[in-house]
Amino acid sequence: MWAISLSCALSADIGPDAGAAPPDGHPESFFSEGGTHAVLMLHGLSSSPLELRYLARYLRNEGFTVYAPFIEGYSAASGELPMERWVEASVHSFDMLAARYECVSVCGLSIGAALALRLINERPGAQALVLLSLTLAYDGWAIPWYRFLLDWAYFTPMRRRYRYREGEPFGIRNKALRKKIAREMRRNKFSEVGPSTISLPALHQALRLSRAARKDVASVRNDTLVIHAIDDETSSPRNALFVIERIGANFLRTLWLDDSYHMITSDNEREMVARETALFLRQSEVARGTAGASARPVVSKALARRLRQLAAVEKISK
């Protein structure tokens, strides 16, 4: 029942033609046609396109075609399949867009960003890559100490009985929104920022995907935008730095956020995330392949304010 309501919410929220049939025909995928530059959007583990709706709407209003597919065995309430099947489905979605549009970029959130890295390795002709809250390891400050034990538990009878339960802050720094999410998590299996629980098999496949994605980074030559919150409670900034230090992109842009947690497409700085993503994709159309086009890292206003305060304190102490 909740799957139907998610589909309806997306249709009402994305844009005037969001009711158009997605290329895969799946009712929980969403598709909104804009210009000749299409963006394939990959949501987080065991979640749905709902967590990307604000960004999708913004990009559509900026003239991009947006498509967020429902991926069997990866998306919410779709069973469990090996991560290789997730990659195959993503590649298929990319190919459907590439057959219809002049260029296709790939945008992933959380584990979806790791999936985007694997996809880019299979389809290096993509226009650009956008990595939001990239998760190559669950190493944020809110991850419980016993998290590493779950990888071992997968190989025990617990794999079919245990489910990892999401807890506060649910990837959200905004207190009002966090309260709303907490209420949704108590009542339902799902909220706009993801599921209330995740199965051990899904977590195990996500770990396999992340390990594979790490191996792909150096070979990526596509224009790349990395956006990460410095206080991400799920995946620490080390995840983003791993890519920034190794990726082979000529055009690399980095944005650090200081007023968000993991779910940056829904939290306090979602407008900045959407604006910078749209700007980067347009710049990529012009600057793709231009040597030395890397921009200096960008920081949010909140982070810039914090850095100024730290500099002032340091000056006084001297």
pLDDT in tens, 179-190: 888 787 767 766
- pLDDT of 5 reads 40
Task: Kindly state the average pLDDT of the residues 89-110.
Answer: 97
Across residues 300-305, what is the average pLDDT? 64
Mean pLDDT of 191-213: 81
Q: What's the pLDDT band for 105 if we cut at 50, 70, 90?
A: very high
* Rg (the chain; Cα; Å): 19
pLDDT value for 63: 96
Q: What percent of the chain has pLDDT over 70?
A: 72
pLDDT(9) > 50: no
Mean pLDDT of 38-62: 94
Residue 168, pLDDT score: 74
For tokens 């305060």, name the residue: 309
User: Rounded to the nearest 5 degrees, what angle is found at the Cα of 224, between the Cα atoms of 223 and 225?
Assistant: 135
Q: What does DSSP assign to residue 262?
A: S
Q: Is a pLDDT exceeding 90 seen at residue 8? A: no
**150-173 tens-digit pLDDT:** 665 656 666 566 655 666 788 899
Helix (H, G, I), strand (E, B) or coil at 69: coil
Burial call 36-54: b when 16+ CB within 10 Å, e when fewer: ebbbbbbbbbbbbbbbbbb
What is the pLDDT averaged over residues 96-110?
Answer: 97
What mean pLDDT do residues 200-228 have?
Answer: 93
* Pairwise CA distance, residues 115 & 59, whole Å: 21
Higher per-residue confidence, 240 vs 288: 240
CA distances from 77 to 24, 72, 166, 195, 203 (A): 17, 9, 16, 10, 15
Residue 149 pLDDT greater than 80, yes or no = no
Using the predicted structure, report yes or no on whether residue 2 has a pLDDT greater than 80: no
Among 39, 43, 198, 170, which residue's Cα sits nearest to residue 28? 43
Give the pLDDT confidence score for residue 12 in this predicted structure: 43
**Distance in angstroms between the alpha carbons of the first and the last residue of the chain:** 62
Record: fold of 2-317:
Rossmann fold (3.40.50)
Decide: 230 and 257 in contact? Cβ < 8 Å: yes
Provide the percentage of residues in the chain whose pLDDT is more than 90: 58
pLDDT tens figures, 230-280: 999 999 999 999 999 999 998 999 999 999 999 999 999 999 999 999 999
